[in-house]
Amino acid sequence: MLQHPAKPELVFTWGNPSRGDDGLGPAMYELLLQEDLQGVDLLTDYQLQIEHAIDLEGRKHVLFVDASISASAPFELVRLRPEQDSSYTTHAMSPQALLSVYQQVNDSSPPPAWLLSIRGYEFGLGEPLSTEANRNLLAAFNHIKTLLGSEQPEEQT
Amino acid sequence: MPSNLETADNPKKLERVVIEPLTRVEGHGKVTLLQDEDLHIKQARLHIVEFRGFEKFIQGRPYWELPVLVQRLCGICPVSHHLAAAKACDMLVGTTQLTATAEKIRRLMHYGQTLQSHALHFFHLCSPDLLFGFDDEVRHRNIVGVIEDSPEIAKQGVLLRKYGQEVIRVTAGKRVHGTGAIPGGVNKSLSQEEVRYLQKDIDQIVQWGQDAVELIKRIFFEQLDYHMAFAAIDTNMLGLVGANGEFDIYHGGLRARDAQGGSIFDHVDYTRYSDYLREGVKNWSYMKFPFIEALGEDAGWYRVGPLARVNNCDYFSTPLAEEQRKLFKEAGHGRPVQASLAFHWARLIELLYCAEAIRELLLDPDLGGTDLLNKGELQGTGIGVIEAPRGTLFHHYEIDDDGIVNRANLIVSTTNNNQAMNESIRQVAGMYLDGKQLTEPLLNQIEVAIRAYDPCLSCATHAMGKMPLEVVLVNEQNEVVDRLEKRITGDIQRTYP
């Protein structure tokens, strides 16, 4: 089935750039694109869906990046485990649910994965990133660059 | 006619049950049921409670940005908005005929997105209902249950989605925020390498499409009476058809047929849609209620989407889908199939068609052509209509002399089905809930009826979805007397008192 050669590290961001701070994920994608990142694939989408399980295949580590309305500022980083939560039943999945789909479909454990949640505040259609969210974005960006230079991320909240 | 459950005679004296928000339906909507003291349903409504206008988002922007800009209206249907806006922009730039390459690449993109959208809906969102029944344990009735019980079906769903997304990526240039369709044409053709890449798996995709249709038929016919009766409502049906009456989801004229299959209008130039359709409003919902003007608001509402399209067309141009259409038509016994659950059946016939159409297009040398654009004189009005996966989608723009949008009107697929979804839940409420205590499986039947339409409330409201499910019972003094909450884990808990 269709698949491109996978680099060992994957940073997967998601969100809608036209919905205010929901665009934090895509904004991180744009920042990381400017970096000379070796061995790292960057992907972005409006939201997570079942087919993204295929994007996880062949990875050493996966870092998901999303906006959050409840995370502590500037961001939170947590290790993810496959979880069969109710986001299976929506048009948009949680990363934990995606890991679970990977596990079920491939009959093997997904790669180690983390979620970096950047605190956002305003999510209205047509709004730009808020000032506070921009500040949080830069803090998260610096942390991701550090992570990508290390062997394995540590949880940080 | 709208059913008599739209508005109760004395709503303040009735208990109110709120299902909010809907699961497996994007956006923020809720269903309210009002019961009298004998537990009879007296009123049922699907509400849209939040709305942020897209006009403000679009107005003041240059027209050439529209095909990219409108993708951000909804993260679920970006390609539908991309193509509808591109068609409207074709009219703005005076394009009366796309080049062969441009039209075929746009069609390929559209078939890819319809295939992936229908695959998600069947394999991911609704197959648990259909495979396990509505009374199955909640925690099992999801994609995990499908994977556990039918791992190959679940895997096919994932891979069908992936294939459709790859068609979009190749034709639009990127996985998201694609720029493939531009005013007057497309900005790239396909290389031979890209064509070969998509050809590699297309025979498997067609086979899975055939398997999916066989699966839904088996499910449907196992409980034929139930599936034909559940949420069934007699409605008019609207959609595009090709010049010869063939199934066409990219371009054509508007065809409307009544509940018996009689013609209301046919092959109407879609740029004249406002001569035939009106949008009604009700004070309890932000979502409008479109209707056929000649029939009036009470009798003129209609359904769009797979059910309407498969009923309305005279034939499919691909052999496997056409064979399935004939079998589908037989189920109507001489009139349109009106069962709401037949949406699922029709949706998979369309999925099969898209797979076949992609296979045919991938053999067409025009995909690699270099003649990509065709423009004329700039016009003030642009109207583009496509058959999006969920139904007919209208984009209408007015621009000034500088090309700046000063008016926009979008009628999205889900809005076209607004009255029909309301009628379906009233039918279900009246048939299955009346006189009974409310339980989660019974309430789920309401959601099953709505899910059959695959609504995108994100499109209709431009609000983001909120998923936990809350059921609240309120008495005539507006006091909460009961509350059920569906947690993120899928557990149902009574949280009141």
Do the beta carbons of residue A17 and residue A123 sit within 8 Å? Answer: no
Question: For position B102, which CATH number holds?
Answer: 1.10.645.10
Q: Is the pLDDT of residue B463 over 50?
A: no
In a domain, B92, yes or no: yes
A51 CB neighbours in chain B (<8 A) are 116, 158-159, 161-162, 165
Interface A–B counts its CB contacts (< 8 A) at 121
Q: Is the pLDDT of residue B279 over 60?
A: yes
For residues B473 and B395, state if they share a domain: no
**A residues 71..110 contacting B (CB < 8 A):** 84-92, 100-101, 104-105
CA geometry: angle B238, B244, B250, nearest 5 deg: 55
The pLDDT-based confidence of B129 (bands split at 50, 70, 90) is: low
For residues B172 and B297, state if they share a domain: yes
For residues B266 and B183, state if they share a domain: yes
Mean pLDDT (chain A, rounded): 87
Last residue of a domain, one of B383, B415, B447: B415
In a domain, B141, yes or no: no
Mean pLDDT computed over B167-183: 90
CB atoms within 10 A of CB A106: 15
Mean pLDDT (chain B, rounded): 84
More confident residue, B9 or B202: B202
Interchain proximity A91–B54, CB inside 8 Å: no
Strand partners, A12: A43, A64
Q: What is the pLDDT of residue B244?
A: 98
ipTM for the predicted complex: 0.83
For residues B27 and B89, state if they share a domain: no
For residues B122 and B201, state if they share a domain: yes
Instruction: Give the nearest partner residue to A125 out of B52, B139, B490, using CB atoms.
Output: B52
The pLDDT-based confidence of B257 (bands split at 50, 70, 90) is: very high
A100 CB neighbours in chain B (<8 A) are 144
Instruction: Give the nearest partner residue to B57 out of A46, A92, A125, using CB atoms.
Output: A125
- Closest residue, chain B, to A90 (C-alpha): B24
A9-148 under CATH 3.40.50.1450, yes or no: yes
For residues B434 and B406, state if they share a domain: no
**How do strand B277-282 and strand B253-257 relate by DSSP bridges?**
unpaired
For residue A129, give every residue at least 6 positions away whose Cβ sits within 8 Å of its Cβ, in sequence order, or none.
A20, A21, A23, A24, A27, A137
Q: What is the pLDDT of residue A49?
A: 85
In a domain, B4, yes or no: no
For residues B337 and B430, state if they share a domain: no
For residues B389 and B433, state if they share a domain: no
- Closest by CA to B413, choosing from B484, B320, B308, B321, is B308
- Closest residue, chain A, to B158 (C-alpha): A51
Last residue of a domain, one of B393, B415, B437: B415
Domain ranges of chain A: 9-148
Q: Is the pLDDT of residue B81 over 70?
A: yes
Q: Which of the residues B26, B143, B470 would you substitute to probe the A interface, choosing the one with the greatest number of A C-beta atoms within 10 Å?
A: B143
In a domain, B2, yes or no: no
Alpha helices in B306-439 (DSSP H): 306-312, 319-330, 342-361, 413-416, 418-428
Would the CA dihedral through B438, B440, B441, B442 be positive or negative? positive
For residues B355 and B207, state if they share a domain: yes
Closest Cα of chain A to B118: distance in Å?
12
In a domain, B488, yes or no: yes
Would the CA dihedral through B83, B85, B89, B90 be positive or negative? positive
The pLDDT-based confidence of A69 (bands split at 50, 70, 90) is: confident
* Lowest mean pLDDT across A141-150, B147-156, B265-274, B284-293: B147-156
Mean pLDDT computed over B352-379: 97
- Closest residue, chain A, to B152 (C-alpha): A105
Q: Is the pLDDT of residue B481 over 70?
A: no
For residues B250 and B302, state if they share a domain: yes
B429-455 per-position pLDDT tens digit: 777 766 656 667 666 777 788 888 888
Closest Cα of chain B to A59: distance in Å?
18
Residue A29 token pair: 């994608």
More confident residue, B1 or A115: A115
Closest Cα of chain A to B457: distance in Å?
11
B177 CB neighbours in chain A (<8 A) are 17
For residue A98, give every residue at least 6 positions away whose Cβ sits within 8 Å of its Cβ, in sequence order, or none.
A48, A50, A52, A53, A56
Instruction: Give the nearest partner residue to B162 out of A1, A87, A91, using CB atoms.
Output: A1
Q: Is the pLDDT of residue A105 over 60?
A: yes
Please state the domain count of chain B.
2
For residues B299 and B197, state if they share a domain: yes
For residues B262 and B396, state if they share a domain: yes
**How do strand A61-68 and strand A113-119 relate by DSSP bridges?**
parallel
Interchain proximity A101–B158, CB inside 8 Å: yes
B128 CB neighbours in chain A (<8 A) are 89
Q: Which residues constitute the domain of residue B265?
A: 54-135+146-415
